Amino acid sequence: MPFFHDKGDDLLSHIKIVLVETTHPGNIGAVARAMKNMTMTNLCLVAPKIFPSAEATARASGADDILAKAAICQTLSEAIADCQLVIGASARCRTISWPEVNPRQAAELCVLSEPRQTVAIIFGRENSGLKNHELDLCHYLLRIPCNADYSSLNIAAAVQVICYELFVATNDVPEVAMPIGDKGECPLATGAQMASFYGHLHEALIDIGFMQPGKSKSIMRRLRRIYNRIQLDTKELDILRGILRMSQDHQKSK
Amino acid sequence: MPFFHDKGDDLLSHIKIVLVETTHPGNIGAVARAMKNMTMTNLCLVAPKIFPSAEATARASGADDILAKAAICQTLSEAIADCQLVIGASARCRTISWPEVNPRQAAELCVLSEPRQTVAIIFGRENSGLKNHELDLCHYLLRIPCNADYSSLNIAAAVQVICYELFVATNDVPEVAMPIGDKGECPLATGAQMASFYGHLHEALIDIGFMQPGKSKSIMRRLRRIYNRIQLDTKELDILRGILRMSQDHQKSK
């Protein structure tokens, strides 16, 4: 049986972001902001070089509550002591192959796993990442798909991508775009309505002298292609037909 | 017919990131880094407050080639003059409803649309975003799903999320995690192999005096649950059976 989240519950509270020996306090602040943007609240800092820091607070930009309640640990083992699932971010390939996940897969593991586990997602030092003995503590390595020739994301950018995937996985975010005309307000025009519109358009174009009866078939085809592509809804169709009527009336009144 | 990308081609070269009146040059540098991480190269700056700048170059952290060839425009209209598809990032709701997409949908539109269109994805000012007359130039508004109570992402973080989705959409990134034992090296153990292993385990546990024949059924069930859950591959199974054999030999040699 899958685990069901109560909407309105703190859906990601079982997941903590762990930063190991972060050098720049600005990055710690930017991580806090990235987390809060995606409703994540549990930050754990392992032996940060400089913390707390005014620079971290500035870059947190309103997410200083995350910084204020961040846990500080001296070792990674201490940070993950309560975690059943440990995922470590890694840009490098290891000689020993290790189970690897991308951010979407990691989100699936963290959010859809049953029963709900306490999860740590670990990010290493800005310059050198996680050491081998730290990666050995992980069940999975997390690799963000990226440019093979320029693969090192800023740590806060990497956290943003992961937290975004976690948020998407816990919220019903649609995956496929609606056609451009469909704003959910009124229905898209049917084929019959479009056929009627094209008849009206053709008639109006003759009325105003733009086309001659029985000629200009290729222009009508082009117009059809244009209007079909934008997928008009019925309200938009009414507006266009109103314009056609007005142009016909105007012509007749001359 | 869908558009097929040649692998190895510059898959995202038809998409440009447009930044409007960015205040902090550090953010411009961070955007360049986020883009290059995801193989995006076309950056366009509309009336940047300070550019070029040492701070932008420092934060670009090796993506200064993107900064060096960035286009500079005075108006947004100029920046999107060559674009068939224009998508504007917006955190606010508009009174007039406008077609809206999330990052995954935007990536679908940009990458899978046929024929390949020149695309602009626009990000507004750090504090106030895009103005209404700028949003009016967009075919779609882009909204990143996030915390309703704290919705303003750092501009480089927002660009990172979009570029990540574009990269994922153009590369065959798997969506579902492989079971933890499956590293693609050797096949997972079959049911028969696991049954044989459990027989061996049971025998070994009796041999070493951990269990008595005909008793301790509940312990065997627990052990089965453990080993089933980790989905052993055949190499791992060989290792475990080697351990069982050694423990049996050790017991017999006493």
Quick one: pLDDT at residue A156?
A: 98
State pLDDT tens for residues B82-120: 888 889 998 766 556 678 899 998 998 888 665 567 899
Q: A15-170 in CATH: which number?
A: 3.40.1280.10
Residue type, A127: N
A106 shares contact with chain B (CB less than 8 Å): yes
Distance from CA of B158 to the nearest CA of A (A): 8
Of A105, A140, A177, Cβ closest to residue B176: A105
Where b means 16+ CB within 10 Å and e means fewer, A122-137 reads: bbbbbeebbeeebbeb
Contact with chain A for residue B39, Cβ under 8 A: yes
In sequence order, the 6+-apart residues with CB closer than 8 A to the CB of A84 are: A117, A118, A119
* Domain locations along chain A: 15-170, 191-253
Among the partner-chain residues A38, A61, A176, the one whose CB lies closest to the CB of B146 is: A38
Put simply, the answer to whether B34 touches A157 (Cβ < 8 Å) is yes
Q: Which residue has the tokens 């519109």?
A: A197
Structure confidence by residue, pLDDT tens digits, B160-183: 999 999 999 888 676 655 545 444
- Contact call for A153 and B144, based on CB within 8 A: no
DSSP string, A117-173: --EEEEE-BTTTB--HHHHTT-SEEE-----TTS----HHHHHHHHHHHHHHHHTT-
Would you identify the CATH topology of the domain A191-253? Helicase, Ruva Protein; domain 3 (1.10.8)
Å from B252 to nearest chain A CA?
35
Q: Which of A98, A175, A185 sits opposite B104 (nearest CB)?
A: A175
Facing B173 at nearest CB: one of A145, A151, A174? A145
Cis peptide before B52 (omega within 30 of 0): yes
Name the residue facing B167 among A61, A108, A146 (closest C-beta). A146
Q: Name residues whose C-beta falls within 8 Å of residue B182's C-beta, 6 or more positions apart in sequence.
A: A99, B188, B231, B233
Position B87 scores a pLDDT of 94
Q: Give the pLDDT band of residue A21 (cuts 50, 70, 90).
A: very high
**CA-wise closest residue to B241 among B182, B199, B183, B186:** B199
pLDDT single digits (tens) B183-236: 456 777 777 788 889 899 888 888 888 888 877 777 777 777 667 666 677 877
CB contacts, 8 Å: A182 with chain B: 99
pLDDT at B185: 61
Mean pLDDT of B8-37: 92
A61 and B CB contact within 8 Å: yes
With an 8 Å Cβ cutoff, are B161 and A156 in contact? Answer: no
Q: What is the pLDDT of residue A103?
A: 95
Mean pLDDT, chain A, whole residue set: 84
**Average pLDDT of span A9-24:** 91
Give the separation between CA A26 and CA B243, rounded to whole angstroms. 49
Q: Do A37 and B108 touch (CB under 8 A)?
A: no
**Mutate which: B168, B172, B183, B188, vs A, most A CBs within 10 A:** B168
Tokens matching residue B171? 């590369």
Yes or no, beta carbons of B183 and A61 under 8 Å apart: no
Nearest CA in chain A to B62: A150
- Per-residue pLDDT of A57-116, as tens digits, reads 999 999 999 999 999 999 999 999 988 888 999 876 655 667 889 999 899 888 766 556
Mean pLDDT of B15-40: 97
Chain B interface disruption, residue of A87, A168, A171, most B CBs within 10 A: A168
B164 touches chain A (CB under 8 A): yes
Which residues, 6 or more positions from A221, have their beta carbon under 8 angstroms from its beta carbon? none
Q: Residues 218-247, chain A: which have Cβ within 8 Å of B?
A: none
